[in-house]
Amino acid sequence: MTSNERTKEAWNAALGTMLLVAAFVIVLLEMVGSSPNAQMNVLAVLLAITGSGLRLEAAVTRR
């Protein structure tokens, strides 16, 4: 595995983690807020799916 591939793998894993954290924060803010917003829930789901996909790709690439 080249250095460039390792860098891309690390970047995908880090970005995936950030997206998962962002989704979690959105869900927490929605729970605390007084009026739930369906658009924010959709955004949280999209961020979670994308983050999980990036982390999965980094894990598969590692093998």
What is the value of pTM for the model shown?
Answer: 0.85
Measure the CA–CA gap between 35 and 56, rounded to whole angstroms.
34
With a pLDDT cut of 70, the percent of the chain lying above it is 98
Mean pLDDT of 17-35: 92
pLDDT value of residue 1: 66
pLDDT value of residue 4: 81
Residue 37 is given by DSSP the state -
Mean pLDDT of the chain: 90
Mean pLDDT of 10-38: 91
Given a cut of 80, whether residue 19 has pLDDT beyond it is yes
